[in-house]
Structure 1
Amino acid sequence: MQRPRILIIGGGFAGMECAHKLERTLKAQDAELRLISPQDHQLYLPLLPHVASGVLTPQSVAVPLRRMLRRTAIVPGGAIGVDPHAKAVIVRKINGEEVVERYDYLVLTPGSVTRQFDIPGVDRHAVGVKTLAEAAWIRDHVISQLSLAAASSDRAERESRLQFVVVGGGYAGTETAAYLHRLTSAATKRYPGLDPTQINWHLVDVAPKLMPELGDRLGEKALDIVRRRGIHVSLGVTVEKATEDTVTLTDGRTLPCRTLIWTAGVAPSPLIATLGAETNKGRLVVRPDLTVPGLDGVFALGDAAAVPDLVKGDDATCPPTAQHAMRQGWAAARNVTAALRGTPLSDYRHKDMGLVVDLGGIQAVSKPMGVQLSGLPAQVVARGYHLGALRTITARFRTAANWTLNALAGDDYVRTGFQAQRPATLRDFEMTDVYLSPEEIQARVTSEVARRSMAPEKPLFP
């Protein structure tokens, strides 16, 4: 008898935690576990600003899936379409080959992509902070701007290369601006031709407050820290258009700028649109037990799912945070196991444990379990939380060692150049244009069924 196949899409917090938990609760003969991911690692997103500024190496925040998962078969590719009626997923492998993967139970954790909005030039001239490649590119690019500015005798060129714009006043944007500002400020000691007053960082957000989730007191504290650093914070303002060397804001200013970092929110993975199911602001509507109404055997969680927040009540949904994604992964594993065994499913319920914002050095603001902290105590909590959330001892050791080395020895300013020729666009880095239409999905599945019917000795799907 063929084992039930559990197919997990996405190797992020939710997907990896679900697979890891299923390995612990199910025996090998109970089910076949397969995880689809174009990357061979789980990326610890909250520390990407540290990678972008060179405080951490990329390996520190990339936990190898094969180190964590022993019995789960990893399919190296991305899901580009789902046919929930045929119980099939179309996967484009990293070598370009397309295959159809069948499932009995599907766990959807495709995550999110950077939200672009329809602003002229953003798709061509902005880069996000959602992938390891983006973080590595940003570091190379920022250091290159310092070198090019130091080499140039043209005043206008120097001004545009030394002006940086970060859009998005949430955690990712604020931490990215704070860490990169520290990097460029310290760099002036190594670039004798650069005047520190010529380097300008702008943090822009259409919201009236910086990180409103922190509350008024901590939000104002964070705002005061970044402004005292010298970062120009513009609230109630966003980008009107962007070109290769300018950024025009909605308050009428046009900034000469060759670096536009876009962190203005996230949007669910475009894969969700291929299912044809009900969505809430783009996120897949799910029940409290993480099942998708009307789709047999389908569970959805993480950034791409509108999971009801039973603790807050009313119509609240869980925010797209790593904290919720990890715990939803555990809950999904329990419920998939329950579905296999024919026992009742349980609802996901988790009270938010708080927030941490690392602004570099000894500066941070944190709100663990509702307790408001700032300065060194907040930094201890922030870094302690991150170390605890990293999933392997190796990753924790690397991260702690990198932090210690950077604190003792300072920054280095080395351009690797390995991504110098890579287009810095959100589409290229985050692969937002690879997904199929419903008609294309049905055609692929029908073609696979016809092909397999010519070879009856083989299973219908691999």
Structure 2
Amino acid sequence: MNTVTRPRILVVGAGFAGVECVRRLERKLSPDEADVTLVTPFAYQLYLPLLPQVASGVLTPQSIAVSLRRSKKYRTRIIPGGAIGVDLKSKVCVIRTITDQIVNEPYDYIVLAPGSITRTFDIPGLTDHAFGMKTLAEAAYIRDHVISQLDLADASQDPDERASRLQFVVVGGGYAGTETAACLQRLTHAAVKRYPRLDPGLIKWHLIDIAPKLMPELGDKLGSSAQEILRRRGIEISLGTSIAKAGPEEVTFTDGRVIPTRTLIWTAGVVASPLIATLGAETVKGRLAVAPEMNLPGNDGVFALGDSAAVPDLAKGDDGAMCPPTAQHALRQGKHVADNVIAALRGQSMQRYVHKDLGLVVDLGGTDAVSKPLGIELRGLPAQAVARGYHWSALRTNVAKTRVMTNWLLNAVAGDDFVRTGFQTRKAARLKDFEYTDAYLTPEQVREHIEGTGRQA
């Protein structure tokens, strides 16, 4: 069988779902059965749950970014760029490469795993002044920024400026927000001891969320335990509250409080990648509506999974529940959808996706953690062991596991270094600068582009 006639499988996204799918396709398909192509702006798989530990300096950025080019045995072609549109009728994916060239990539089978972006609202000043916690660059930048606030406060002669630089606001009481506030508070609490001129009492962390509880999935007891741990550390928790307005030097809460601060970290949830809107297909809360087999009904050879797909959660029955956008589901969906793509390719029957949630883990830094593996509630060191053990085992390569374990051991023994790299020094970079949400086409623009350029790249 020659290259021209081999079916073309295009995978969009190199997150948990996309990479697991690609690796399984490589293992189970013979080289002459299909050509596999992966579209991703970065040739690495990012282990998102550990981003707060990168922001706090416990882990190095490289340790949670697993290179997709490290092994010589993989045969998948990688296109460095981002998918900005898909025409289901023509079976063409429109890609903007990292050189800003727009190309067409035809496919026979497409697996859509573009992930999600930070969910924002129409709040004045939010995208101009808030930081996100969704990318490796954001985590590295936030670490530099937080440490620089200590340096700038130490250098300032103005008491008001000093106080504002030492107040930090995190919005979002989910796992990302809670772990980010917990890990960064530990960092500043340890670092301020190296600044004799700074009053440790000036450092204040605020964690706010519009919901009535932090991490409600944990249940009342564990959720209350997490809140108690954070409050004991001095983190002020405000529930039923959000942001009314954000400025360069202050944040206004919806309850009327005005907090002088130079640091607003926004982690209030995620939404599906804007790529999904370019398909013109049915969605559920912005996520592509797919069948339990993760294929798109009425469209041959189209599959979707992960954060951007509304996959029915059959483990919870037939009550319309959808799989939550977690790494646990994405990993398993990636393998399952690969099997279904192969089944479709070989003319076999596809299988429905069913996975019962194994539990939740929340690492609050140090010896503090709360976990709920298989419904068992744990706190303290046992919970920390489960949390880190789960994350460690989920890392895809032995190199990544070795780096992460080494970082954990080194941090436990030697503590933090409080090193500021100078990344983007004196140049502001906020949420809007890290997530290129304006790069996507509308369904009409996709069709116009393909009609004007033809199907082939």
Same fold (TM over 0.5): yes
Counterpart residue number, 2:81? 77
1:422 to partner: Cα distance: 4.8
CA gap of 1:157–1:421, structure 2 versus 1, over 3 A, is closer
The 5-angstrom pairing of residues 363-382 of structure 1 reads: 363-382=368-387
Letter matched to residue 53 of structure 2: H
Cα distance in 2, alignment partners of residues 338 and 422 from structure 1 = 51
- Is 1:320 the equivalent of 2:325? yes
In 2: Cα distance, 1:421 partner to 1:344 partner: 57
Which letter maps to 1:53? Answer: S
Matched, 1:29 2:32: yes
Q: 86, 104, 111: which one pairs with 1:100?
A: 104
**1:67 counterpart = 2:70:** yes
Tell me which of 147, 150, 160 is aligned to 1:156: 160
CA RMSD of aligned residues (A): 1.0
Scaled by the length of structure 1, what TM-score is found? Answer: 0.97
Contact 1:427 1:433 in 2 (8 A): no
Q: Which residue of 2 aligns with 1:300?
A: 304
> In the alignment, residue 98 of structure 2 is paired with which amino acid?
I
Distance in 2, matches of 1:423 and 1:395, equals 31
Matched, 1:230 2:218: no
**Can you list the C-alpha shifts for 1:185-244, whole angstroms capped at 9, x where unaligned?**
001111111111000000000000010000011000001000001000001100011000
Whole-Å separation in 2 of the counterparts to 1:267 and 1:20: 26
CA distance in 2 between partners of 1:66 and 1:18 (Å):
16
SS of the residue corresponding to residue 104 of structure 2 reads strand
Tell me the distance in 1 between the aligned counterparts of 2:256 and 2:234. Answer: 22
User: What SS does the corresponding residue of 1:113 show, helix, strand or coil?
Assistant: strand
Partner of 1:178: 182
Q: Deviations over 1:157-191 (max 9, x none)?
A: 00110000000000000000000000000011111
Partner SS, residue 403 of structure 1: helix
Q: Distance in 2 between matches of 1:418 and 1:206?
A: 33
Residue deviations 1:278-332, cap 9 Å, x none? 0001011000000012222100000000000001120100000000001000010
Match of 2:137 among 133, 136, 140: 133
- Encode CA deviations 1:106-131: one digit per residue, 9 max, x unaligned: 00000000001111111101111100
Which residue pairs with 1:6 in the alignment? 9
Deviation at 1:413, TM superposition (A): 1.6
1:254 is aligned to 258
In 2, are the aligned partners of 1:49 and 1:176 still within 8 Å (CA)?
yes
CA distance in structure 1 between the aligned counterparts of 2:55 and 2:416, rounded to whole angstroms? 12
In the alignment, structure 1 residue 419 sits paired with structure 2 residue 414:
no
Q: Matches of 1:40 and 1:421 in 2, distance apart?
A: 29
Q: How many Å separate the matches in 2 of 1:286 and 1:438?
A: 19
Matched, 1:444 2:444: no
Note if 1:434 corresponds to 2:442. no
Match of 1:340 in 2: 345
For 2:238, what is the secondary structure of its paired residue?
strand
Q: Distance in 2 between matches of 1:299 and 1:440?
A: 22
Shift of 1:421: 5.0
**Alignment deviations for residues 337-381 of structure 1 (CA, whole Å, 9 cap, x no partner):** 000000000000000010000001111000011111000000000
Give the counterpart of 2:402 among 397, 402, 406. Answer: 397
| 3-state DSSP of counterpart to 1:18 | helix
Q: SS state of the match for residue 66, structure 1?
A: coil
Match of 2:211 among 189, 207, 210: 207
Q: CA deviation digits over 1:131-172, x for unaligned, max 9?
A: 000001100000000000000010110011000000000000
Give TM-score scaled by structure 2 length: 0.98
Alpha-carbon distance in structure 1 between the residues aligned to 2:120 and 2:396 = 31
Which position in structure 1 is the counterpart of 2:201? Answer: 197
Q: Aligned partner of 1:38: which letter?
A: P
Identity of aligned residues (%): 65
The secondary structure found in structure 2 opposite 1:140 is helix
| AA in 1 matched with 2:334 | G
Q: Report if the CA contact (8 A) 1:167-1:238 is conserved.
A: yes
Q: Indicate yes or no: 2:280 matched with 1:276.
A: yes
C-alpha separation between the residues in 2 aligned to 1:295 and 1:204?
A: 43
1:305 and 1:127 map into 2 onto residues whose CA distance is 26
2:294 equivalent in structure 1: 290
CA contact 1:366–1:372 (8 Å) conserved in 2: yes
Report the Cα distance in structure 2 between the residues aligned to 1:133 and 1:355, rounded to whole angstroms. 26
2:278 alignment partner, SS class: helix
**Cα displacement string for residues 42-86 of structure 1 (whole angstroms, at most 9, x for unaligned residues):** 000000000001110000100011236701101000000111110
